[in-house]
Structures are given as C-alpha cells and as structure tokens.
C-alpha cells in the first residue's frame, strides 16, 4: 500500500469507478489499479464483455452494468464511489447524434457525481485547439464533455492526449496495417501535421499519478510523449523497426477524411466508422501547449520508437493467451490484451489440425517431445532437409544444431531452426521458429486426455510481416497443409496408436 500513502482513508475504503472498462485504456487501467491495491468498480453497458478478463475474479474488483444514457443506471454504478475515471467516448463516425449522446452521458455523470458526493472526476479527453476552424466533430465533442465536467460541482482533472501508441489502440493499429501493407502510399496532406503521440504506458502512468497527486484536482493538463512528430515520421519509424523497406509517401490535397477512412477500411481491418474520426483528428496540430504535468507526476516518458518496438515484439504475445492468466498478471501495456479488437496485434495467420489417438497422453507426449530427433519431423524427411539447407544458405541456422537429448526438451533449448518456447509436460509444447522468413512463426502441440483416447492438436501460427509475409503464407499454404497432416499421421505411427479420427483441419474462428 506504499503507493497510497498520501491518500486519505476514504480512498482506501471506497471503490474507484472506471467507466469504459471494456475499452482500450479502461481495460488496462483496471488491472493496474488493482495491482496498486485499490478497490475498483468496473462498469460497462454489457458486463458480460468483462467476464473473460483474467482479473474478473480479483478480490478487490466489482463488475457492474452501466449505460451512461440511463440516469438510473448511472446512479446505481456511482453510489458509494470516491473517484470516477470517465473514459467514455463515441468513436462511431456514422452513428447519428453521437455528440448529443456524449453530451447527455456527461451531464448524467456530472449530476449523479454531485448528488452522490463523489470527491473527483478524472477525464481523458483529446488535444487540439478548441477554436481551430478545422477541429473535427469528435474532438469538438470531447472538448464539450470537458466543459460540462468543469461547470459541474465535482472537481475534475482533465487530461488531453493526442494519438496513443501501443498494440490495441485503434490509432496504432491503423498505422501498423497501413505500413505493413503499403510499400507506396498516397496520403492526405495531414501526413506532415505535427503530432505529439504518447505511449499507453505513460497515459496509464498519468491517470494513476493524478489519483495520488491532490494538486491535480481541478486542473487541465496536456499529456504527450517526449517528441513532436508527424504521421510521416511515425510511418518511417514503424517501417524501420518492423524490418520493412522505407515507405514511399505521396501527399495529395484531394483525399478528404471520408475518402481516407474508406481507403483505410479497404487496406486495413480497421472499420471506416472508426478510421474516419482518427483521420479527422490528425488534420490539425495536436501538440502539448504546457508541460506542467511533468513536474507534478514525474514520469520517464517513453519515446515513440521504443513503444513501437515493444508493440512489435509479437512472438511472446502469440505464445500466451492474454485471457487465461493469473488475476494479478500485468502484461506490458503496449502488448495486445484480452478484450482488444479482433484486428489488434497485426496480421496473425493460423492453421490447425486435430487427430484423436487410441492411446494415453503420456504415450503420445513421448513421441511429440522427440520431434526433430532421430525420427525427424515424422514424414517428408527430404522436404525438411531441403528447407533447412535453404535456410542455412540465406543466413539462417538451418538444421546444423542438434537436440541435447533424444527424448526430452528443455525450455529455451535451441535445435535446428527452433527455440523451445514452452514445455508443459504432458500437455503443451511450443516451438518458436528462427528460420529466415518474412514474419515470425510458432508450432504448437496441444494434448488433451480423454477417458480412452488422447486428442492432439497441431497449430501453425505465422506473424506476417508486410506484403511479402502474406505472399509467403498463402503461397505455401497447400504445402503446409500436406506437411502438417503427414506429421500427425507420422506421430500416430511412431507411438503405435490407432487413429480414431483425423487428422482433420480445424476451421479458423472469426
């Protein structure tokens, strides 16, 4: 509880309300505050969307339903809370009356907070000159929400941020897919507009820091990273860190935000109704005008390049299930998290096969764990040799390094072009590929025991990098199907287990 030494006993005894807990920032703020020892009340219009979060059963957490447009719902959620984090924003460009909805929601919250004697509100809004003639409707609405809270009876701390960097952020994912998929870009003129992006780590740091700094009450602060950059700068930084060729950019004056959002939707999985307000928000300078917050909440601000580097560390993210972690686990906030949008984390391509064998799990596991040894990869020996020779020729490890033991694998062991990422006997083996390819790859074996048989699932996961990565995956797709089916048949033969069913391809979930 050292982090809370300066707070009064009321804060320790009354929960903190986090609105928008299913959102990008809220979904990361909840576990952070829980880890700091606070009691948290997380609310969402549909609480079932929080039921898969790893922190859902935390002792200090309460999940409640709240529709900000329903006054009674707001009253029920707010009652008993000391502080409110207001993280609700409409990002749906095509939604009729979004400004009216944001206004009503803010008025409801301000009124209920006053009636229920809430001590303070912390609001995360947007940067941008409120008087700028080209201020987007969405940024104008965020400024209006800020004004509503300032006029209310409850003291408010307003934080204004520009583009937030980190996997899962819609702004960052838009950047990711544009750079990954377009070696040549025709862009709007705003590609050169000054912007001061901020790492999600630092956004969370300021949100938490304001809670513990009484001098922030009633104040408005600009928050940003240590650099002022343009979208062009971010494009080049991302390409460099992702190992892609430098992108060629042609700014043109005819691309309106609407046309830009439609083009983004065509090229990326980010929906146009979300891309449009993001594109509109980049059309004017969004730079911090004052840095007072840096003295009150001193953080070592993370440069954009470092944030991008962490977000691009995709291999360890693919190796773990973000929804199946201990309640107190805090992943790097720049990584994808449970509950992020389906498109978060970049292009991940999977191919899975299942076979059911009439053998106990230990028997099947022994064969699986011996992979890459004397029996090779249980089929297509010549093909695997040729792939290893090609990998060595282009500078990869190839098949030169042998296994340490014939029957056992150790975590972090290297053999051939694999690193043993996970060994959970006798249920799970994860091999990380180090072969030269336009993307990262994992080969995952998952064993499930049944009363009279064992189910074995083999999954190939490819973390595509650029257009070359997509071409590599789809070009080799038929060959990979054949190889992995044959591998499962070979495993069945070598462990002497009759095949009950399979190998069958498992449809990819959408």
All structural domains of the chain? 2-319 (3.40.50.720), 348-506 (3.30.530.20)
pLDDT at 135: 83
* Cβ atoms of residues 355 and 503 within 8 Å: yes
> What residues contact 439, with CB distance under 8 A and at least 6 apart?
462, 463, 464, 465, 469, 472, 473
**Which pLDDT band holds residue 504 (cuts at 50, 70, 90)?**
very high
Alpha-carbon separation of residue 509 from 265, 342, 349, 351, 501 (angstroms): 21, 11, 11, 11, 21
pLDDT of 260 higher than 80: no
* Contacting residues for 296 by C-beta, under 8 A, at least 6 apart: 209, 213, 215, 216, 221
For 315-453, list the strands marked E by DSSP.
Answer: 348-357, 414-415, 418-424, 428-433, 439-449
Mean local confidence (pLDDT), 445-461? 96
Q: How far is CA 269 from the centre of its chain?
A: 14
Reported as type and span, the H/E element at residue 472 is helix 466-475
Provide the pLDDT confidence category of residue 11 given band limits of 50, 70 and 90. very low
Yes or no: say if 311 and 334 are a contact pair by the CB < 8 Å rule: yes
Residue 102 backbone phi and psi in degrees, to 5: -65, -40
- Rounded CA-CA distance 127/159 in Å is 9
Instruction: Quick: pLDDT tens for 388-405.
Output: 999 999 999 999 999 999
Q: Is the pLDDT of residue 253 over 70?
A: yes
Cβ–Cβ < 8 Å for 341, 423 = no
How much is the pLDDT for 62? 96
User: What are the tokens at 184?
Assistant: 């040549």
pLDDT value for 44: 93
Could you report the per-residue pLDDT of 65-99, keeping only the tens digit for each? 999 999 999 999 999 999 999 999 875 544 557 88
Output the pLDDT for position 321.
82
Instruction: Grade residue 7 by pLDDT with cuts at 50, 70 and 90.
Output: very low
- Antiparallel, parallel or unpaired: β 164-165 and 198-199: parallel
pLDDT tens per residue across span 180-228: 999 998 888 888 999 999 999 999 999 999 999 999 999 999 999 999 9
162 contacts 121 by C-beta, under 8 angstroms? no
- Helix 477-494, helix 466-475: angle, nearest 10: 50
Percent of the chain residues topping a pLDDT of 70: 95
- For 461, list phi and psi in degrees, rounded to 5: -120, 125
Query: What percent of the chain clears pLDDT 90, i.e. is strictly above it?
Result: 79
pLDDT of residue 3 exceeding 50, the answer is: no
**Residue 154 binned pLDDT confidence (cut-offs 50, 70, 90):** very high
Decide which of 69 and 5 is more confident.
69
The secondary structure element, H or E, covering residue 120 is strand 120-126
d(C-alpha 274, C-alpha 163), whole Å: 14
Return the beta strands (E) in 178-322 as ranges.
184-187, 198-199, 220-223, 248-251
Mean predicted confidence (pLDDT) in 434-451: 95
Nearest to 463 by CA among 441, 445, 484: 441
What would the mean pLDDT of 424-433 be, rounded to a whole number?
96
d(CA 362, CA 218): 63
Residue 191 and residue 231 in contact, taking contact as beta carbons nearer than 8 Å:
yes
Question: What is the band of 257 on the pLDDT scale with cuts at 50, 70, 90?
Answer: low
pLDDT of residue 93: 41
CB 168 within 8 A of CB 452: no
Q: Which residues contact 147 (CB under 8 A, 6 or more apart)?
A: none
The pLDDT assigned to 91 comes to 58
Q: What's the CA angle centered on 392, arms 387 and 395, to 5 degrees?
A: 125
> pLDDT tens for residues 125-137?
999 888 888 888 8
Phi and psi at residue 28, to the nearest 5°: -100, -25
C-alpha closest to that of 508 among 444, 464, 459, 475: 459
Locus of tokens 């040729």: 386
pLDDT grade for 324, boundaries at 50, 70 and 90: confident
Dig out the tokens for 312 from the structure.
């691009």
How many residues are there in the chain?
510
| Residue 195: DSSP 8-state | B
* Calpha distance 168→87 (Å, rounded): 16
Average confidence score pLDDT of the chain: 91
């Amino acid at each position: 509880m050292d982090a809370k030494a300066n707070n009064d006993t009321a804060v320790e005894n009354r929960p903190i309300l986090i609105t928008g807990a299913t959102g990008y920032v809220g979904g990361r703020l909840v576990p952070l505050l829980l880890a700091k020892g606070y009691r948290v009340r997380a609310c969402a219009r549909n609480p079932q969307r929080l039921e898969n979060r790893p922190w859902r059963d935390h002792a200090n957490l309460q999940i409640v339903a709240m529709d900000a447009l329903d006054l009674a719902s707001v009253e029920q959620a707010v009652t008993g809370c000391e502080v409110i984090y207001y993280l609700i924003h409409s990002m749906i460009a095509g939604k009729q009356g979004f400004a009216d909805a944001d206004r009503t929601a803010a008025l409801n919250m301000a009124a209920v907070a006053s009636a229920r004697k809430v001590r303070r509100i912390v609001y995360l809004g947007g940067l941008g000159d409120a008087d700028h003639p080209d201020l987007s409707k969405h940024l104008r609405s965020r400024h209006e929400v800020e004004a509503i809270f300032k006029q209310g009876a409850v003291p408010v701390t307003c934080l204004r941020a520009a583009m937030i960097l980190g996997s899962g952020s819609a702004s960052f994912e838009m950047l990711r897919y544009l750079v990954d998929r377009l070696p040549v870009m025709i862009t709007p003129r705003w590609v050169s507009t000054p912007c001061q992006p901020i790492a999600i780590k630092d956004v969370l740091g300021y949100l938490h820091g304001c809670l513990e700094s009484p001098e922030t009450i009633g104040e408005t602060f600009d928050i940003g990273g240590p650099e002022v950059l343009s979208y062009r700068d971010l494009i080049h930084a991302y390409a460099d860190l992702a190992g892609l060729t430098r992108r060629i950019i042609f700014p043109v004056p005819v691309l309106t935000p609407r046309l830009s959002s439609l083009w983004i939707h065509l090229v990326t999985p980010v929906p146009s109704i979300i891309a449009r307000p993001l594109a509109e928000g980049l059309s004017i300078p969004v730079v911090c005008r004052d840095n007072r917050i840096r003295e009150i909440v001193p953080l070592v601000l993370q440069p954009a390049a470092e944030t991008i580097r962490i977000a691009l560390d995709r291999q360890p993210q693919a190796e773990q299930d973000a929804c199946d972690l201990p309640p107190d686990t805090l992943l790097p906030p720049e990584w994808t998290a449970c509950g992020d949008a389906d498109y978060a984390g970049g292009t991940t391509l999977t191919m899975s096969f299942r076979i059911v064998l009439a053998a106990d799990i230990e028997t099947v596991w022994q064969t699986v764990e011996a992979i890459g040894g004397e029996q090779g990869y249980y089929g297509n020996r010549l093909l695997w040799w040729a792939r290893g020779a090609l990998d060595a020729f282009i500078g990869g490890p190839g098949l030169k390094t042998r296994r340490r033991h014939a029957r056992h694998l150790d975590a972090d062991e290297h053999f051939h072009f694999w690193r043993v990422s996970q060994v959970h006997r006798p249920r799970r083996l994860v091999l990380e590929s180090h072969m030269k390819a336009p993307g990262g790859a994992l080969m995952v074996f998952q064993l499930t025991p049944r009363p009279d048989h064992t189910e074995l699932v083999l999954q190939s996961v490819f973390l595509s990098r650029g257009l070359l990565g997509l071409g590599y995956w789809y070009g080799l797709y038929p060959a990979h199907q054949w190889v992995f089916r044959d591998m499962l048949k070979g495993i069945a033969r070598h462990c002497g287990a009759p095949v009950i069913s399979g190998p069958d391809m498992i449809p990819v979930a959408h």
